Structure 1
Amino acid sequence: MLNQYYYRELLKHVNILENGAILLGENISVDGHGGRRIRVVTHAHSDHVNQLSDSVRESEIILATPVTIEMIELLGYVGRSLRTLFKMKAKALEYNQVFSTGVEKVTLLPADHIVGSAQVMVEYKGYRLGYTGDFKLTKKTAVMKNLDVLVIEATYGNPTHRRPFKDSVPGILYELVNYGLSYYGQVFIYGYHGKVQEAMKILREKGVSEPFVLTEKIYEITKALEKYGFRIANVFKEGPGRRFERSVVFKHMMSASRRRLDGSALHIVLSGWEFREPFRRVDDYTYLVALSDHSDFDDLVQYVETAKPGLVVVDASRNGDPQGLASSLREKGYCTVTLPGDQESQIEEYCL
C-alpha cells in the first residue's frame, strides 16, 4: 500500500475547480477555464466547453481533436467576436500525438463517447496523470495504464446505474425503426449532437437504406464530419416540400417535447437515463430507447480495475453520483478522493 505522503504529493499536481476545470500538471486546464496556459477540450458538449471564451482570451493554446475543433465552431460555442482569435489559438491534436508545453507532455487518446471525443494523459515531473473525460468503454476506448493519478467521470457512478442489456440496444433501435418505416413510413429520432450521428451509423450498418432527413444544424455537422471519415450516405437537409415516401428524420433532443402525436409517424427518443429495460413505450406513437454514450457503473469500475492507477480522483463537478462511485472503489481497495472536496481529510480517512 502506498503511503499518505505519496498521495498528498500527487494531489499537488491534480485538482478540480467548481466550474468543472480539471487541472493537470502546471500548465494544463481541461474542460473548464482554469487560468492556465493550455486549455484542452475533450469533446463538444456544453458541460465540457465551460467558459471557453475566457480561455480563448487568456490561454495561449486551445487543444482538441480536429473533429472537436470543427464542432466547437459549428455549434457556436465561441462568439463571433472571438472566432478569429479562436482559430489562431486552436491546435488540432490527433489521437496518440504528443504535444509538449516544455514542462508537460500532453497526449489525447480515444474515448468513444461522441465523434472526436478524447481522454487526456499528461506526463509531468515523472508523474503520469490521466483524465477520462466522458467515455464509453468499448474496444475503441484506450484504457490508460501505469498512471499515478486517474481522474474519472461519474455520470453513471451510482451502483444502480447498470445496463446489462446495453449490447442489445443497437439491434432494438434497428427493429423499432424498421417497424416504424413499415407501419407509418416516417420515423423521427431525437437525440443530442454526437448521439444522433451514432444512431445514423448504427442504422446504416444494420441495413436501413431509406433517406435520412436532418435539421440544418445536424446536417452541417454530419457533412463536416465527412472529411474525418464519418460518411453517411443518402442524407438530406430538412426543407419545405421535402417529403419521401419512407424516411428517417433526425432532430435535436430539444424538439422531442414538440413532436406531433397524430399517427403520421413513429417517434424514438434516445436517452441514457434508462436502466430497467432497453426500451419502453412512452405513448401510442413514442418509444424511448436506452442508447447511451456514457459508461454505466460496471464499466466505470472495470476501467479502474484494468488501469490500476495509484490514486483515483472522481470528478464531482458535474452531474452524476461521484460519492457512490468513490465509495464502491474504496471498498475494492483503491485510494479514492472526490474533487472538488477536502483533499486532506479524504486522504487521512480513505488512503491508509
Structure 2
Amino acid sequence: MDAKIDKNGAILLGNNFTVDGYSNRPIRVVTHAHEDHMKGLRKSIKESIFIIATPITHEFLNILGYHIPEEKSMKLDYDKTIDIMDEKITLKKSRHIAGSAQVMVETKNGTMGYTGDFKLPGTEPLKDLDTLVVDATYGNLKYQRGWADWDALGALMNLIEEYTKRGPIWIYGYNGKLQEIMILLRERGIKNKFLADEKTLRMAQIASNYYGVNLGDTTIFNKELVEGDSIIFVHTFRHQDFSRLEGTHIMLTGWELRGIAVKVSENQFNVSFSDHATFKEIIEYIKESNPRKVIIDGTRSQDSWYIAKYLSKILNIRTEVEPK
C-alpha cells in the first residue's frame, strides 16, 4: 500500500495509518483539532489501537470532548520517529494552529507524507518522499490573496482601535484561529478585556503557554460582563446567535477575496485572515519538497483538478486527484 485518499476523506498512509478520517485501520492520526479533520474520531477511539497526535492536539481534543483512554493515547512530539508494526511515523511541525502537524510514514515500499493544513512561511516542506498528499483548499489562482496575514492582522487592529470607542467588538472564527488572534493581539499591545466560552478560553490558555504569551484580562463569556471596550471571541457557527447584539461584528474568513477588510453592513466586517496556504504557496511548497508523485486531496477543495493540471503540465510532476 502506497498512499491514497478514501471516499470519506481519510488519508491512508502505509498499511496501518489513517489520518484525519475514519478507516478500519489500527492507528488513527489527528493532524490538528479542527472539526473537518476529526471526522469519525469517536469511532476510531473505540476501534483503533492508538490515537496519535501532538501533545497540544491531544489537550485540545480532551477539551472538545474526545476522551481517549490513556492506553490508546499516543502523544508524539515533533521530529520524533517511532516504529509501529514495521512502519515508521514522524510528525513534522506545520504553521496552521497550535499543535498542528504534517505526517511522514516510512514503509518497506517507500516513504510518503501528508501536509495536513498549512501555510507559508513557517512550514518546512517534507522531503525525500515517494508520494506527497497535499491539502489544496485554495488550489486555484482565482483564490489568490494579494496581501499577507500581517496585512489582515493590521486591518483587524485598525478596526478594533476605531470601533472600540463605539462599543464591544465581536470576533468570529474557528477554533485555533480565535486562539491565534487572541495571542497576536496581546503581543501587539491590545489590552481590552477578552471574553469567550469556556472551551475557547481553555484552548487559548494552552496555546498561550505554547507560544509563551500572557493572555492578560480574560474571562468566561456572560452578557452581564460585557463592557464598552470588551472583545468577545465567538465560534463562526454561532454568528447568527450574536450578530444582532450591540457592537461591531468582525468575521475572520479566508474566503473574503474582495479586500483585506470589507464592510458588509453598518456594523459588520469581514477580515481576510486565513489559516491555509494560497495557490502560490502550495506550488512553492511542492517545488521545494520535490516528491516523485503528488496526490491532491479532492475532498477539501472544489478546484483540485486545477492545481493537479498545473503540476502535471507546467511542472511535469506526476499528479493525481483522490478520491477518484
TM range (shorter): over 0.9
| Separation (CA, whole Å) in 1 of partners of 2:170 and 2:137 | 27
User: Which residue of 141, 158, 176 corresponds with 1:159?
Assistant: 141
Alignment of 1:207 with 2:196, yes or no, is no
| Separation (CA, whole Å) in 2 of partners of 1:305 and 1:286 | 39
Alignment of 1:234 with 2:217, yes or no, is yes
Contact 1:261/1:285 (8 A) holds in 2: no
Contact 2:168/2:226 (8 A) holds in 1: no
Alignment of 1:100 with 2:83, yes or no, is yes
Identity %: 38
User: What are the within-5 Å matches in structure 2 for residues 124-273 of structure 1?
Assistant: 124-125=107-108, 127-138=110-121, 140-167=122-149, 168-182=151-165, 184-229=166-211, 231=213, 232-239=215-222, 241-261=224-244, 264-273=246-255
1:116-157 Cα shifts (integer Å, max 9, x gaps): 11100111116221100111122x312111211110012111
Alignment of 1:17 with 2:6, yes or no, is yes
1:176-196 Cα shifts (integer Å, max 9, x gaps): 1111113x1311101111111
Residue 181 of structure 1 aligns to which amino acid in structure 2?
T
What is the Cα deviation at residue 69 of structure 1?
Answer: 1.1
What is the Cα deviation at residue 223 of structure 1?
Answer: 2.7
1:277-331 Cα shifts (integer Å, max 9, x gaps): 1120010001100110011111111110111111011111234421111111112
| Separation (CA, whole Å) in 2 of partners of 1:287 and 1:240 | 22
Larger radius of gyration: 1
Residue 280 of structure 1 aligns to which amino acid in structure 2?
V
Contact 1:272/1:291 (8 A) holds in 2: yes
Give the equivalent residue in structure 2 for 1:46: 35
| Separation (CA, whole Å) in 2 of partners of 1:230 and 1:51 | 33
| Separation (CA, whole Å) in 1 of partners of 2:44 and 2:170 | 37
Aligned pair count reads 321
User: What are the within-5 Å matches in structure 2 for residues 44-123 of structure 1?
Assistant: 44-76=33-65, 78=66, 83=67, 86-123=69-106
| Separation (CA, whole Å) in 2 of partners of 1:321 and 1:73 | 34
1:34-60 Cα shifts (integer Å, max 9, x gaps): 212211010111211121122112211
Q: Where do 5+ consecutive residues of structure 1 fail to align?
A: 1-11, 342-352
- After superposition, the Cα gap between the structure-2 partners of 1:322 and 1:206, relative to the gap in structure 1 and judged at 3 Å, is same
What is the Cα deviation at residue 253 of structure 1?
Answer: 0.8
Contact 1:17/1:317 (8 A) holds in 2: no
1:191-228 Cα shifts (integer Å, max 9, x gaps): 11111111112211222111111122212222344554
3-state SS of paired residue (2:233): strand
Structure 1 vs Structure 2 CA RMSD:
1.7
Contact 1:131/1:151 (8 A) holds in 2: yes
| TM-score w.r.t. length of structure 1 | 0.86
Contact 2:91/2:104 (8 A) holds in 1: yes
| Separation (CA, whole Å) in 1 of partners of 2:146 and 2:224 | 43
Residue 199 of structure 2 aligns to which amino acid in structure 1?
K
Residue 44 of structure 2 aligns to which amino acid in structure 1?
S
| Separation (CA, whole Å) in 1 of partners of 2:185 and 2:294 | 37
Residue 292 of structure 2 aligns to which amino acid in structure 1?
G
Q: Where do 5+ consecutive residues of structure 2 fail to align?
A: none
Contact 1:156/1:320 (8 A) holds in 2: no
| TM-score w.r.t. length of structure 2 | 0.94
What is the Cα deviation at residue 162 of structure 1?
Answer: 0.2
Residue 286 of structure 1 aligns to which amino acid in structure 2?
Q
| Separation (CA, whole Å) in 1 of partners of 2:231 and 2:60 | 23
Give the equivalent residue in structure 2 for 1:278: 260
Contact 1:131/1:152 (8 A) holds in 2: yes
Residue 256 of structure 1 aligns to which amino acid in structure 2?
H
3-state SS of paired residue (1:87): coil
| Separation (CA, whole Å) in 2 of partners of 1:49 and 1:136 | 20
Contact 1:157/1:322 (8 A) holds in 2: yes
Contact 2:183/2:208 (8 A) holds in 1: no
3-state SS of paired residue (1:94): coil
| Separation (CA, whole Å) in 1 of partners of 2:58 and 2:226 | 33
| Separation (CA, whole Å) in 2 of partners of 1:17 and 1:254 | 27
| Separation (CA, whole Å) in 1 of partners of 2:74 and 2:211 | 20
Contact 2:97/2:176 (8 A) holds in 1: yes
